[in-house]
Every structure is written in structure tokens, then in C-alpha cells.
Structure 1
């Protein structure tokens, strides 16, 4: 049976299982079992057991539940309120004024969260009611928050970077460091778009709050000190080589517990909720990773990655055309799957093609993360859209339209990284 027929049958099986409501991790394992049992000579049973055990016992993955737990602890603190107090005086003079707190707040929280949904929910709890009360346009409040909160995937520590690093077998520490400059660039582009909009629509921006002197602004900035120290301890430990990504994650958990205790929000109930929340989320991710590992092994025995790589190689696509094709592919896939599922489902097939095209895997990891960010604000399965819908009670289509300008800003960011790859590769090369 030729590869096209086999691929078609497995894709049909995948969507039938997903459409019937089977969990994604079990779906991936089921499709892998079907493929190996029917189209290869290797017995599926022992291969599945060995592969799932190997993926579940990976030491590299230890960083993942720790960073998830850190984000859950901080989600229950007064961090967003403190950041708003510390940032508002500084952005009040910028065109767009307090809308920039969505961008800067999301950028800061992204550096201690690792999840775009958590970033969106945490920052939104504070900024949506506050900005609405002050009279800022609803579509700009929601759009800027939806776009900026995707930075939770790009600015380290990032859950999805850990997943990609394990799948692609590249250094997670280098991936983390590689995301810093693109994350700052994307945040600057988001803020720049707000400045342009405010200059073109001055009548839609509420009047500035009462001015503060420089000394008073500095005094208000004390609210930012705890989170800046936490970010510095995590990222600094990785960049300086003092700690691995896993050890830095442990530092982050301890720091977030100290921060939570200092703010008076750490008690038995919040500790228990954070631990259970992190456990539930990681178990879901671990099941997806285990199923994807088995699917990758199954595809290898069937020979699909090799044949796909040969087919794509035969098309004679330049690296640029290949990246455009992959970007479109992932954006379409993101209409139906979450980011982690997209990566673990496709890496076994895509990586041989990318490697053959001579594309740096660290750079490609950042490229994939930004494309997955686009999917976070793309209906019908844009996670950030669901979070915003829960907070605003607006229609999902209205929210998607509000976020649309930020989708195109991310497209611009991808183009800038393609034209200037050193924005991604410079910092990892110094490690």
C-alpha cells in the first residue's frame, strides 16, 4: 500500500477519533497503534509501553510541571494589581496611555508564567474593568490584551518551548534565551501599533490622569520590584550558566512561594489549588506528549517522515518558500488544535524536512512559537479568545476581529526574524 493511501487512512482515523470526543493524547496513541499494527512488522504493544515510559520519565521534562506550578502560584497572587500600580504612571504620557499596561503587564507576567492563557486571565482580571471604567474603547482593550497575552508562549520560561525542545532534541536553555529579543521586539511592535492608532484617533483616548512627579513615579514602581527580582533570578540563572532550565524552574517555584507569602495570598487553600491546578494541566500535557511520542515512533516504522521529506525535497522549495508553506499549514492546523498538540503531532514529520533545508532548529523553534501564538487568537479553537469571552461575555467573532490587527503584527515579526535571523540566534550563540 503506497504512502499516500496510508497517510490518508491515518488522517481520517485521527479526525474521526478527535471528532468523537476522545482525548487528544489517547487519539494520538490510538492512531499510532493502528498505523504500527496494520502497516508495519513491529508489534505495537511493547513498542507503545517502552515509548510511553521513555517519554514520561524524561529528566528534561521535569522543568515543565515546575514552571506550570510557578504560574499557578502567581496566578493566585496580587501580582497583576501590583504591576498595574507600578506601570500606569510611566505609560500615562504615551499616546494610547493606559492601554499600554496590557502590553507591558503581559510582557512582564509572561516572563514568570509560560502560558498565554494564564497571562491573559491574570492581566485581564485587573486591566479590563479598570480600563473600561476609565472609558477606553472596548475593542482596543480586548484586542491589545488578546494579542499581548500570546507573549506568554514566547518570553521565557515557556511551556511550549520545553515541549518543542524535547521533540526537536535541542537545548531548552538556548531556546529560552533565543526568545528574549523576539519577545521584546513583538511587545514593542504591539505598543507601536497602539501609539499609531492613538495619534490617528486622538478623540477616542480618554484624558490623562493627574500627572506625577518623577520621584512619585519611582515610588510607585516599588510594586514592580518583587516580580523583577523573580524574573531576574530565573532568566539570569539560565543565561549565566549557574542553573539548567529544570533547576531554574525550581528556583522560580521557591521564589513564587516567597512572593505569594509576602503578599499575604499564600495559605493552605491557595497552595492546594495551585498544586492541583498544575497537576491537572501537566497530566493533560504529559498524556499528549506520550501519545505523540508513540505516534512519532509509529510514523518512523511506516516510513512517512522519510517519504515526506523526500517529496518536499523534490519540490525544490527554497527555505523561504518552505517556511511560508509551514506557516500557512500551522495557522490552518491551529484552527482545530491547541499549540502543544500541534507541535507534538507534527514535529516527527516536519523536522527531517526542516533539517534537510538547512534551517537552524533554534531559530525554527522561535518561528513555530510565534506561528502558534497566531493560532491563539484564531477562531474557532483560539484559547485566548475563549479566556477573553469568559471575562467579557462578548461574541467570539467580535473578539477575533478585535484581535485581528495583532495577528498581522505577528506576521510582520516573523518576516523581521527571517530577514534578520541574528535577532534569534545572537544570544544563544553567546552561551
Structure 2
């Protein structure tokens, strides 16, 4: 069996296991084991242990359970309810109203965590119960969370961006700056769709809340101040270089606990429940990451990513035809690999192809990161779909269908930055040029 045949076999095996109800992490690990045991000369047992250890023994990954715990604290005390109470009067006349809080929340939190999984899990924990209680459509909420959760890897700082910059030998600062405008475009597309949907489906929206005076809005907004200050402090600590992402996550937990104590809504019961909830969610995500890491090793040993890239290179395509083929290749790889693994395993072959075709490597970095985002919500194996499935108990097919309109928004964003590459390059060129 040739290499691409092996890849197709492993993909079919994965889909069969998932459709049979096998745990996601176990499915990934089983596919990795089969690939190594039958198609390589390596020892799958040793690689399994090393993959599970390497994927979780990470200082950066320590931020994940901390950010999730912060979300649990906000969710189990009055703080999340107070945030929505403060936002509600100001969004009363905006089409979509509180639906936009999921998009804005993911955008803000993504800039802090740098992790798609942490962003999706944390904002879901806070917003899903509140929006459901207020009568908002659950399908749109789930779809927006699945897609907007991916903003964690597009808005700096992002571990995926750092890995790409190292692989491409590009400036980390330039790749960070390049991510801001595409992220703003994507947030605008998500919010635009929500506004359009709410206008078209007024009968599915909750009844408008009673109008309040300007002074009353200001009075209610005091509920926003504590959490807003916490978020601003975390963001500023990271941007100013005072703390790493993991340290910022720890500050977030401490800050959330202080606010909960100050509001007298923290009890021993909700403290322990929040701790156990964050442990369960973190273990679920880390178990999936471990399975994905083992499958990534299998991909590396079999040479599937390199074979795909070399196959595209051999076709001698025009620049835009090359980009079209790379879209397909990365989306196929995204069904089995995380974004960092996709970049690392294909960089040696893809980067020279892209440069030869005349594309800017900074632009291509944002292009690849957007493809990684799309892969994370591509059914049936998008990572964010798994996170929401495990958090809500909903069927992954339902969540995947809910995410389709937002998936289309992400495709539109890819098209926009391809047709107008200045969206990506203007900020780093302008600011870095001014710095010189």
C-alpha cells in the first residue's frame, strides 16, 4: 500500500470508530497504534508513552486548566450573570443582541489565552447557561462558540504563530501584527451573520427587554467593571511583557476568586464544584491532545504530510492553483493533526514552494492559521466540536451543523485575504517600517 493509501485507510478507520461511539481520544490513539504497528518499523508502545508525556508535560499548556478554572469561577458565582446584566441594556437595539457576547468574549479571551480549546471551553462555560436562561436560540450559540473559539490562535499572542515564525524563519513580531486585521475581519463576519440571522428569524429571538434610561444603563454597567478590569489587567500584563500566558492565567484565577469573595457569591460548595469541573474539562482536552500527539507521530513516521506536499509540488501549478491545492491538503491534514503539527511536518516542503510562487511568508502564515481554524470546526473531527460535545452532551453532528454558517464566514475571510493580501501585510509593514 502506498503512503496516500495508508492515509486514506487511517481516515476511514477513524470515521468508523467515531461513528461507533468510541471516545475521541481513544479513536486517535487507536488509529496511531494501527498506523505504526502495521505500516512502520517503529515500536508503537514506546511512542505511545512518549507522545502522551510530551503532549502534556508543557509549561505553556499549564495555562489551559487555569483559564478553564477562571471560567468555572465566573460561571458558578454571580459574576457571569452580572456581566450579562450589564451588557444587555446596551445591546438591546443591536440585531442579535446578546448573541454578540459570544463573539466578543471569544475575541477578547482569545487574545489572552492564545489557545483555541481554552477559549472555546471558557466562554462556553460562562455564556451557554446565561443565553439559554434568557431564551436565546441554542443552535446559533453553539455554532458561534465553535467558530469564534478558534480566534484564540489568530489573535496574538498565539503559540501556533510562534511555531510558524520559527519554522518559516520569519519575524515573530511581524506575524503577531499581521494577525490583528484578519481577526477583526473575521469577528465582523461572525457578528454580521448573527445580525442577519436575527433579522430574518425574529420569531426565534427572545422578547425584547423593557427599555431603560441612559442613567439606568450606566447604573447596570457597574456590573461590568470588575470583570472588565480583570480582563484588561490580564491582557495588559501579557502585552507589556510583565507575565507569560501561564502566569496571566494564574492571575486570572486569583482575580476571579477575589471578585467572587468581594461579591459574597463564593461558597465552599461552588468553589469545589468549580475545581472539579475545571479538572474534568482539562483532563478531557488533554486526553484528546495526547491521542492527537500519538497520531501525529504516526503521520511523521509514515511520511504522509511530506508525501502530500511533494505531490502538490510535482504538479507545477500556477500560484493561485497552488494555494487552492494547499487548502485541500491542510484541511485533509486537519482531520488528524493539530495546527502546530501540520505546520512542523509540512514546513520543509511547503515554504520553498510558497516562496517560489511569489507569496509573502508572513501572509502565508496567517493563511495557514486560518486554515487551521477552519480545520478545528470541520465536521466530523474538528477539535472545537469535540470540546463542545463533551461540555454540553449534544451530538457532534448537531454542533457541526450549527457551525456551518460560521464555517462559511471563515472561508470568506480566506478569500478576502487572498484577493486583498494588504489586509494581512499593511499593519506589520506600516508599524515595523515606522519603527525603523
TM range (shorter): 0.7 to 0.9
Match of 2:115 in 1: none
Match of 1:297 in 2: 297
Match of 1:145 among 126, 136, 141: 141
Contact kept, 8 Å, 1:37 with 1:44, in 2: the verdict is yes
SS at match of 2:89: helix
Match of 1:135 in 2: none
Aligned pair in 2 of structure 1 residues 31, 165: CA closer, same or farther (>3 Å)?
Answer: farther
Match of 1:368 in 2: 371
In structure 2, C-alpha distance between the alignment counterparts of 1:387 and 1:33, rounded to whole Å: 24
Contact kept, 8 Å, 1:376 with 1:384, in 2: the verdict is no
1:146 is displaced (CA, Å) by 3.5
Please list every run of 5 or more consecutive structure 2 residues that lacks an aligned counterpart in the other structure. 111-117, 355-360
1:370 is displaced (CA, Å) by 3.8
Would you say 1:111 and 2:114 are equivalent positions? no
Contact kept, 8 Å, 1:151 with 1:373, in 2: the verdict is no
String of CA shifts for 1:213-260, please: whole Å, max 9, x gaps. Answer: 2x4333322211122112212222222222222222222222222233
Match of 1:73 in 2: 73
String of CA shifts for 1:159-182, please: whole Å, max 9, x gaps. Answer: x96578679977999988766544
In structure 2, C-alpha distance between the alignment counterparts of 1:241 and 1:28, rounded to whole Å: 37
In structure 2, C-alpha distance between the alignment counterparts of 1:271 and 1:176, rounded to whole Å: 36
Would you say 1:101 and 2:98 are equivalent positions? yes
In structure 1, C-alpha distance between the alignment counterparts of 2:123 and 2:182, rounded to whole Å: 18
* Pairwise CA RMSD: 4.6
Superposed, 1:36-47 pairs within 5 Å as 36-47=36-47
Match of 1:127 among 103, 127, 131: 131
1:19 is displaced (CA, Å) by 4.6
String of CA shifts for 1:346-374, please: whole Å, max 9, x gaps. Answer: 56655555534435474145403541465
1:332 is displaced (CA, Å) by 8.2
Aligned pair in 2 of structure 1 residues 93, 56: CA closer, same or farther (>3 Å)?
Answer: closer
SS at match of 2:229: helix
Contact kept, 8 Å, 2:51 with 2:294, in 1: the verdict is yes
Superposed, 1:11-26 pairs within 5 Å as 11-26=11-26
1:387 is displaced (CA, Å) by 8.9
Aligned pair in 2 of structure 1 residues 307, 388: CA closer, same or farther (>3 Å)?
Answer: closer
String of CA shifts for 1:269-328, please: whole Å, max 9, x gaps. Answer: 222222222222222332333333333333323332322211121233456545555656
In structure 1, C-alpha distance between the alignment counterparts of 2:164 and 2:374, rounded to whole Å: 17
In structure 1, C-alpha distance between the alignment counterparts of 2:29 and 2:312, rounded to whole Å: 26
Aligned pair in 2 of structure 1 residues 43, 81: CA closer, same or farther (>3 Å)?
Answer: closer
Superposed, 1:406-421 pairs within 5 Å as 406-421=406-421
Contact kept, 8 Å, 1:25 with 1:289, in 2: the verdict is yes
Superposed, 1:245-324 pairs within 5 Å as 245-317=245-317, 320-321=320-321, 324=324
Contact kept, 8 Å, 2:305 with 2:333, in 1: the verdict is no
1:385 is displaced (CA, Å) by 8.1
Contact kept, 8 Å, 2:152 with 2:158, in 1: the verdict is no
In structure 2, C-alpha distance between the alignment counterparts of 1:178 and 1:341, rounded to whole Å: 24
Contact kept, 8 Å, 2:103 with 2:190, in 1: the verdict is no
In structure 1, C-alpha distance between the alignment counterparts of 2:9 and 2:277, rounded to whole Å: 37
In structure 2, C-alpha distance between the alignment counterparts of 1:175 and 1:423, rounded to whole Å: 13
Contact kept, 8 Å, 1:55 with 1:290, in 2: the verdict is yes
Match of 2:227 in 1: 227
1:103 is displaced (CA, Å) by 0.4
Aligned pair in 2 of structure 1 residues 120, 13: CA closer, same or farther (>3 Å)?
Answer: closer
Contact kept, 8 Å, 2:161 with 2:175, in 1: the verdict is no
Aligned pair in 2 of structure 1 residues 314, 345: CA closer, same or farther (>3 Å)?
Answer: same
Which range moves more in the overlay, 305-314 or 412-421? Answer: 412-421
Please list every run of 5 or more consecutive structure 1 residues that lacks an aligned counterpart in the other structure. 133-137
In structure 2, C-alpha distance between the alignment counterparts of 1:69 and 1:211, rounded to whole Å: 34
Match of 1:209 in 2: 210
Aligned pair in 2 of structure 1 residues 36, 177: CA closer, same or farther (>3 Å)?
Answer: same
1:427 is displaced (CA, Å) by 6.8
If the length of structure 1 is used for normalisation, what is the TM-score? 0.74
Match of 1:85 in 2: 85
